[in-house]
A and B are shown apart, each in its own frame.
Chain A
Amino acid sequence: MSYDNELYQQVILDHNRKPRNFHEMENPTNSCHGINPLCGDDITIYLKIDETEELIKDISFTGSGCAISKASTSLMTQFLKGKKIDESRLIFDEFHKMVLGEFDPEKQEHHLGKLTLFKGIREYPSRTKCASLAWHTMVGALDKKAEDISTE
């Protein structure tokens, strides 16, 4: 059965079913807990930062939530592993603006790769938080935020 669906594409469904880097990390250098009260999404992001190279050496997550949040987190971990911290922050910025509809990767130069498949979420403003929770939490981990990150 074909299902014409811009948002729930196979990649997202696949990452929801089999999330990548989905485990607790031993001895992370940074971690952060994020919640999205709307869907009850609840994730923890773990990072291993290489301070000299200024890059994300390893990244993983645990938690539960809706398909959008789980797939978004899974894809983010895949995408950011090995990336420079500066670049990761730039990608966060582009991703965040894309889901809010303020940045169009089809018209503007971007560094989002296949993460553009979350573009469709801007049709559902109440769900953008599901897609961006992982990213806010990742930045919270980079900034070594002690308190929980909430999308509210």
Chain B
Amino acid sequence: MGDSKTITIDKPILDVDKIRGDFPILSKEIGGKPLIYLDNGATTHKPLQVIERVRKFDSEEYGTVRRGSYRLCEHSTQLYEEARQKVADFLGAPTRQEIVFTSGTTQSINLVAHSFGRKFVNSGDEVIISNIEHHANIVPWQVLCDEKGAKLKVIPVADNGELIMEEYDKLLTNKTRVVAVNHVSNALGTINPVNEITRKAHAVGAKVLIDGAQSTPHMKVDVQDIDCDFYTFSGHKMYAPSGIGGMFGKMEVMETMPPYVTGGDMIMQVTLEKSTYAKPPARFEAGTPPISQVIGLGAAIDYLNSVGMDKIFEYEKSLLDYGTQLLNDIEGVRIIGNAKEKAAILSIYLEAAHPHDMITMLDQDGIALRGGHHCAQPTMIRFGVPATARASMAFYNKFSEIDALADSLRKVIKLFS
């Protein structure tokens, strides 16, 4: 060709076929149809790198942690602490001592509500949450407020799924002790302005907990940039084993907090009369932790880093944009939640069919997604629907799977109309 102009070919953001090769379950069939897994907001699948790392650890390296000075235990403890460092680096935490391992986001929020909440929230004080929280970030605060005679206030949400920040400003007072909101809504996908929320809460002297269950698997998180006091996450939503998760907590805040669960390993010294407590994070890690799962979490973070969180976010955003356009073109489909800043979640409501009928029908096409209230009943009530079907995407999903979802939805609408 005589034309010297270089032709640029759109380079794919990720090599998804290669990535899918890492996830054995993605090549499975469900009832004779290839599995199309779109329930990543509930839980994610594990790559071989995680499965194999845990298998190797359990077969060759397993020992208890922090409880002995024999080599197996020393080695296990070292790997366990290396995983903690990986989490710290992944979340941008200043030190690994500011990472506490828990069973996941639910336990992390309960830890903060019980420990920080019981000590620092008193009668007449106020706790602020939002209208689009997961039950895990509602119920612990309700229980605390009931117990203490404190007031639970709620940031309202606009029709597009974004928090109404002017209303948030009005809720903040010098009685606000805690502001607890999610980084990404599990039901709608809204990415909340957590930096602004944190800055304004700090201005009135409140502490801030960010529920990162839905953000950590999908975007780069920097807790120092957000400046929040607590940031919680769940391993099983970020390609790690279930039963492990944790939180970042600022050391200066965690040092003021009493233990939550008590027992072995969280103590400095125990006599029959009195016990003194270890420094964080050990103070909040009573009992033998899920050791293999922590090693798996570390391997999952290595995997995510090897793919790159920025690329993951960019690719999933392209899936979201594609899916949004495709579904908006189908008559009878309503997408709940259209925030400008949004993660790859499509909460779908059909006028024609109940969400559970829709889910059962989609399942027959091999498409797995969740129908229900997504543990966010106040969100459903706010948007006037009993339930939605939620397609929550991950970087291993293909554009053709979104096509299949759209095709199936068309069939459902046709059948039920």
**Is chain B a partner of chain A in the same complex?**
yes
In the assembled complex, the CB of A150 is this many whole angstroms from the nearest CB of chain B, namely 16
Q: Are A67 and B354 in contact (CB under 8 A)?
A: yes
Contacts A5-B364, A13-B416, A39-B387 given; indicate if A68 touches B411 (C-beta within 8 A): no
Q: Are B416 and A16 in contact (CB under 8 A)?
A: yes
Q: Are A8 and B414 in contact (CB under 8 A)?
A: no
Q: Are A66 and B357 in contact (CB under 8 A)?
A: yes
Which among B360, B364, B372, B416 has the greatest number of chain A C-beta atoms within 10 A?
A: B360
- Residues in A with CB closer than 8 Å to B415 are 3, 5, 8, 13
- Residues in B with CB closer than 8 Å to A11 are none
- Confirm or deny: B226 has a beta carbon within 8 angstroms of a beta carbon on chain A: no
Contacts A8-B357, A38-B356 given; indicate if A67 touches B387 (C-beta within 8 A): no
For A66, give the chain B residue with the smallest CB separation.
B354
- Residues in B with CB closer than 8 Å to A38 are 356, 372
- Residues in B with CB closer than 8 Å to A66 are 354, 356-357
- Residues in A with CB closer than 8 Å to B357 are 8, 66-68
- Residues in B with CB closer than 8 Å to A8 are 357, 360-361, 415
In the assembled complex, the CB of A127 is this many whole angstroms from the nearest CB of chain B, namely 6
A1 CA / B364 CA spacing, docked (Å): 16
Contacts A1-B411, A40-B387 given; indicate if A127 touches B360 (C-beta within 8 A): yes
In the assembled complex, the CB of B383 is this many whole angstroms from the nearest CB of chain A, namely 14
- The B interface, classified by DSSP as helix, strand, loop or mixed, is helix
A55 CA / B361 CA spacing, docked (Å): 37
- Residues in A with CB closer than 8 Å to B387 are 39-40
In the assembled complex, the CB of A28 is this many whole angstroms from the nearest CB of chain B, namely 27
Q: Are A127 and B361 in contact (CB under 8 A)?
A: no
- Confirm or deny: B286 has a beta carbon within 8 angstroms of a beta carbon on chain A: no
For A5, give the chain B residue with the smallest CB separation.
B364
A38 CA / B387 CA spacing, docked (Å): 10
- Residues in A with CB closer than 8 Å to B364 are 5, 7
Which among B357, B387, B411 has the greatest number of chain A C-beta atoms within 10 A?
A: B357
Which of A7, A13, A17 sits near B360, CB closer than 8 Å? A7
In the assembled complex, the CB of B33 is this many whole angstroms from the nearest CB of chain A, namely 11
How many interface contacts (CB-CB < 8 Å) are there between A and B?
40
Chain A: number of interface residues, binned into ranges: 10 to 19
Chain B: number of interface residues, binned into ranges: 10 to 19
- Confirm or deny: B243 has a beta carbon within 8 angstroms of a beta carbon on chain A: no
In the assembled complex, the CB of B351 is this many whole angstroms from the nearest CB of chain A, namely 13
A40 CA / B387 CA spacing, docked (Å): 9
Q: Are A127 and B356 in contact (CB under 8 A)?
A: yes
- Residues in B with CB closer than 8 Å to A5 are 361, 364, 415
- Residues in A with CB closer than 8 Å to B356 are 38-39, 66, 68, 127, 130
Contacts A5-B364, A8-B361 given; indicate if A67 touches B353 (C-beta within 8 A): yes
Q: Are B416 and A67 in contact (CB under 8 A)?
A: yes
- Confirm or deny: B124 has a beta carbon within 8 angstroms of a beta carbon on chain A: no
For A130, give the chain B residue with the smallest CB separation.
B356
- Confirm or deny: B21 has a beta carbon within 8 angstroms of a beta carbon on chain A: no
A68 CA / B364 CA spacing, docked (Å): 15
- Residues in A with CB closer than 8 Å to B361 are 5, 8
A104 CA / B114 CA spacing, docked (Å): 51
A146 CA / B364 CA spacing, docked (Å): 39
Within 8 A of B (CB), among A9-56: 13, 16-17, 38-40
Q: Are B416 and A39 in contact (CB under 8 A)?
A: no
A-B contact pairs, 20 of them (CB 8 A): A3-B415, A5-B415, A7-B360, A8-B357, A8-B360, A8-B361, A38-B356, A39-B354, A39-B386, A39-B387, A65-B354, A66-B354, A66-B356, A66-B357, A67-B354, A67-B357, A67-B416, A68-B357, A127-B360, A130-B356
Contacts from B to A (Cβ < 8 Å): 353-354, 356-357, 360-361, 363-364, 372, 386-387, 411, 414-416
With A7-B360, A39-B354 already in contact, 16 other A-B pairs whose C-beta atoms are closer than 8 Å: A3-B411, A3-B415, A5-B361, A7-B364, A8-B357, A8-B360, A8-B415, A13-B415, A16-B416, A17-B416, A39-B386, A39-B387, A40-B387, A66-B356, A68-B357, A124-B363
